Amino acid sequence: MRTAVDEFQRVFVTPESPCAYLPGRSSRMAFRLMEEGDALDEDLALEMGWRRFGKFLFRPVCRGCSRCVPLRVPVSSFLPSRSQRRVLRRNQDVSLEVGEPVLDDERLDLHERFHESRRRTRGWPETRKDPGEYRSTFIENPARTLELRYRLGGRLAGIAYVGVTPRALNSIYGFHDPALSRRSLGTFDVLQEIELARAMDREYLYLGYLVEGCLSMEYKKAFGPHEVLVGSSWGAGRFDAPG
């Protein structure tokens, strides 16, 4: 009889390519297609350090490098820092709606503006508005996925996608209006995801990979206390609380 662990043997590993997170390094990724009705246990996947993005589970399998460290926040013990409490106060006028993923021009435009800003400020690769790619990445999900919509005075300010498992929420991806950068909407979103996990009686919020030295991935260590996966064991991670 095939077990959930056996399912992870059916994977495709990419050839080595330049690392998207750390300059001068190479990377390899393992992928597995996750289909609707799949016997695969997504909680087990998260426990093993996999991530889900659209229909695919993935994890890094780089030779000689283990800088991508899975990180999760135990919801019951999370304590916002002083700076995170300031972010909550700063965004009291932002409304949140939780619903099913939707594709429309408003979301496509926000996604494109966010990535163009990141391309200019952080060197992200150039992207283009592609409804088909957006649909396959964020809308067509083999497992339950929620869309978090943030609005400011009726204006769409941010979008985040969160996977739902019996034990956890999986923070898949988020983007926000770069014109509102002073509001720290990325931090605000993670704080809302933690509260949503608490309201749904989930044990963890999985935040993906912490990559020391990568600005786009280091922010995750500010949410704590948190746990990191080292080898096959989860344990308390170093919590750097901003002022």
Query: CA 241, 242, 243 angle in degrees (round to 5)?
Result: 115
pLDDT at 192: 98
pTM of the model: 0.89
Contacting residues for 129 by C-beta, under 8 A, at least 6 apart = 108, 109, 111, 112
* Torsions phi, psi for 239 (to 5 deg): -105, 110
Q: Which of 64, 60, 68, 55 is nearest to 139 (CA)?
A: 55
Decide: 221 and 240 in contact? Cβ < 8 Å: yes
Tell me the per-residue pLDDT of 96-150, one tens digit each, with 9 for 90 and over.
999 999 999 999 999 998 878 877 776 666 667 688 888 988 998 988 999 999 9
Summarize the confidence of residues 16-27 as an average pLDDT: 89
CA distances from 92 to 88, 89, 219 (A): 6, 5, 22
Query: DSSP for 150-211?
Result: EEETTEEEEEEEEEE-SSEEEEEEEEE-GGGGGG-HHHHHHHHHHHHHHHTT-SEEEEEEEE
SS (H, E, C) 27-80: ECEEEEECCCCCCCCHHHHHHCCCEEECCEEEEECCCCCCCEEEEEEEHHHCCC
Whether 30 and 12 have beta carbons less than 8 Å apart is answered as: yes
Please provide the size of the chain in residues.
243
Cis peptide before 242 (omega within 30 of 0): no
C-alpha 204, offset from chain centre: 13
Beta bridge partners of 97: 149
Q: What is the pLDDT of residue 23?
A: 87
At 216, list the tokens. Answer: 């786009």
Q: What pLDDT, on a 0 to 100 scale, did the predictor assign at position 1?
A: 45
* 3-class secondary-structure state, position 21: coil
37 pLDDT band (50/70/90 cuts)? low
Looking at residue 39, what is its pLDDT? 55
pLDDT of residue 129: 67
Is 146:99 a contact under the CB 8 Å cutoff?
yes
| pLDDT digits 0-9 by tens, 52-77 | 988 889 999 998 888 999 999 999 99
What radius of gyration do the chain's Cα atoms show? 18
pLDDT at 2: 47
Q: Give pLDDT tens digits for 192-243.
A: 999 999 999 999 999 999 998 888 888 899 999 999 998 889 998 754 443 3
pLDDT (0 to 100) of residue 242? 39
- Domains of the chain (ranges plus CATH)? 68-236 (3.40.630.30)
